[in-house]
Structure formats: C-alpha cells, structure tokens
C-alpha cells in the first residue's frame, strides 16, 4: 500500500447520493440502521430528496449520527415565480452541502453550463458548500470559485459496476487541481466497499461520491469503515 501523503491527513469526504430513491419511511429505516454503530473516519454527507431533507436532519440529530445533509440540486433562480423550483435560501436552513451539475441532470434534464454557473453563484451567495460534478475538464469552464469540491464522475463508470481505475482517476484529479487551484477532488462512479480504499490512497483524491452502494446501509457502512 502506498504511503498516505500529508494531504490525506484530511479526513475523506464520503457522500451518499440517494438520487430519486427512498420514501420517507425507507429513509428512516436507513438511518435507523446506523443507530449505535461505530462510525468514524470520514466527513459523511447524505443527499436525500427535497421532500424530507428537514426530517432526515431531525433524525440524524435524534439518533446522534455523525452525518451531514446535502441537497441533490438547487434552483438557478432566487425566490419568485418559478414553479417547482427549490432555491438556495430555502435550502440553507436544512442543508450544509449541495450537489450541482450531476451528469444525470446535465444529460436527462438538459442542464447547461450556463445554468450550472448560475446555480454555483446562488449556492455560493447562500454559503452552501458545493460539490460540483464533472465528467470532462471543459465542464470547469467559467468556474472560478474558491473552496469547491469537484466530483470527478466518468460517464461510463456511473451505475455500471465498471469503475475507472484509481490511477486514472488520480491523474484526472490532478488535472482538475491544475486548472482549479485549491479544489478538493472526490471520485464517483461504481464506488463500493471493495474499491473505496484504492481511491482514497491516491494523492489527489480526497473522498468519494457513492450512488448505488449508498442505498444499502450495510454496504455504505462498510464503505465508511474501509475509508478510515
Ligand atoms: P454510482 O453513482 O455509485 O451508482 O455509480 C454515482 C453517482 O452517480 O453519483
């Protein structure tokens, strides 16, 4: 095993992107699983659907879990006549983090780079911590904010069981850091309990964004344990 660099003295960020999964009851069961379990070794953020962000936060407090809450998206507009949108001011009472530009939003909902830049601006002004998802370096065009977390998620690795190699992901993470000084880079795309440590051993990777395997609490617990 490669010696960990000083950079890795920073605890890894472990993000659970639930996507459009779980009813409230299922989310409650998921959180309940972690009650009383030994959980350490990472900054852990769960990203539920909008409808129960507040409730998930309450349960995390009630069960004394070391988890933070994030939203999977936010509006590119402020408050106003934007039916169906959830804006940064509405989110900031409930979440610390927000995901922006996930490839599913870029592809399935035709989210443009311009909209993503607007969302970044809204999140930044509301003091939300951002995880900006990208799959290619051009998706950093126009991005100039400090303290960003960039999730590198190669398209064919997402949900496929076919993750990118840790070395390749590390090379890309280095490219991101060269372009965006000070960014923290995490990797996403078929991360599981067996491959997570390989990513976190890499010099330029400071965390993971987990989709599918975050839905099964036992797998996610093992990811946390193997990350520490
Ligand atoms: P996956 O999803 O872990 O299921 O590949 C990752 C993501 O889309 O964020």
* Ligand 1 near 212 CB (within 6 A): yes
Summarised one tens digit per residue, pLDDT across range 164-203 is: 999 999 999 999 999 998 899 999 999 999 999 999 999 9
Q: How many whole angstroms from 79 Cα to the centroid of ligand 1?
A: 30
Q: State the average pLDDT over residues 81-95.
A: 98
Cα–Cα distance list, 161 to 6, 192, 195, 199, 221 (Å): 31, 9, 11, 15, 19
Instruction: Give percent above pLDDT 90 in the chain.
Output: 91
Q: Return d(Cα 168, Cα 172) in angstroms, integer.
A: 6
Instruction: Write the residue with the smallest CA distance to atom 3 of ligand 1.
Output: 211
For position 182, what pLDDT does the model report? 84
* Ligand 1 near 159 CB (within 6 A): yes
Counting ligand 1 atoms within 8 A of each CB, the residue from 169, 210, 213, 223 with the most, and so the one to mutate, is 210
Would you place residue 9 in the very low, low, confident or very high pLDDT band (cuts 50, 70, 90)?
A: low
Q: For residue 147, is it left (φ>0), alpha (ψ between -120 and 50) or beta?
A: left
Q: State the average pLDDT over residues 122-129.
A: 96
* Ligand 1 near 154 CB (within 6 A): no
Q: State the average pLDDT over residues 88-102.
A: 98
Q: Would you say residue 128 has pLDDT above 90?
A: yes
Q: Is the pTM of this model over 0.85?
A: yes
Q: How many whole angstroms from 203 Cα to the centroid of ligand 1?
A: 22
Question: Hey, which bits of the chain come out as E strands?
Answer: 13-17, 43-47, 67-71, 97-100, 129-134, 149-152, 184-188, 207-210
Q: How many whole angstroms from 210 Cα to the centroid of ligand 1?
A: 5
Q: Would you say residue 8 has pLDDT above 80?
A: no
Instruction: Give percent above pLDDT 70 in the chain.
Output: 96
Q: Return d(Cα 167, Cα 91) in angstroms, integer.
A: 36
Would you place residue 1 in the very low, low, confident or very high pLDDT band (cuts 50, 70, 90)?
A: very low
For position 7, what pLDDT does the model report? 45
Cα–Cα distance list, 84 to 18, 70, 75, 78, 203 (Å): 20, 19, 9, 13, 41
For position 146, what pLDDT does the model report? 79
Would you place residue 88 in the very low, low, confident or very high pLDDT band (cuts 50, 70, 90)?
A: very high
* 8 labelled catalytic: no
Instruction: Write the residue with the smallest CA distance to atom 1 of ligand 1.
Output: 211
């Amino acid at each position: 095993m490669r010696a960990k660099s000083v950079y890795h003295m920073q605890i890894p960020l472990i993000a659970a992107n639930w996507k459009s999964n779980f009813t409230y009851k299922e989310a409650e069961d998921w959180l309940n699983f972690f009650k009383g379990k030994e959980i350490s070794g990472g900054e852990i953020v769960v990203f539920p659907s909008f409808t129960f962000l507040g409730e998930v936060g309450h349960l995390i407090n009630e069960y004394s879990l070391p988890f933070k809450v994030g939203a999977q998206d936010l509006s590119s507009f402020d408050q106003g006549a934007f039916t169906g949108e959830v804006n940064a001011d509405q989110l900031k009472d409930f979440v610390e983090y927000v995901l922006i530009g996930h490839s599913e939003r870029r592809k399935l909902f035709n989210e443009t780079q311009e909209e993503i830049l607007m969302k970044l601006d809204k999140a930044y002004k509301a003091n939300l911590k951002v995880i900006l998802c990208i799959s290619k370096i051009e998706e950093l065009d126009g991005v100039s904010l400090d303290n960003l977390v960039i999730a590198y998620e190669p398209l064919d690795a997402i949900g496929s069981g076919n993750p990118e190699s840790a070395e390749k992901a590390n090379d890309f993470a280095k490219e991101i850091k060269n372009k965006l000084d000070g960014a923290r880079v995490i990797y996403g795309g078929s991360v599981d309990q067996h491959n997570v440590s390989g990513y976190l051993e890499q010099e330029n990777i400071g965390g993971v964004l987990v989709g599918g395997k975050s839905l099964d609490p036992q797998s996610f617990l093992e990811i946390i344990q193997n990350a520490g």
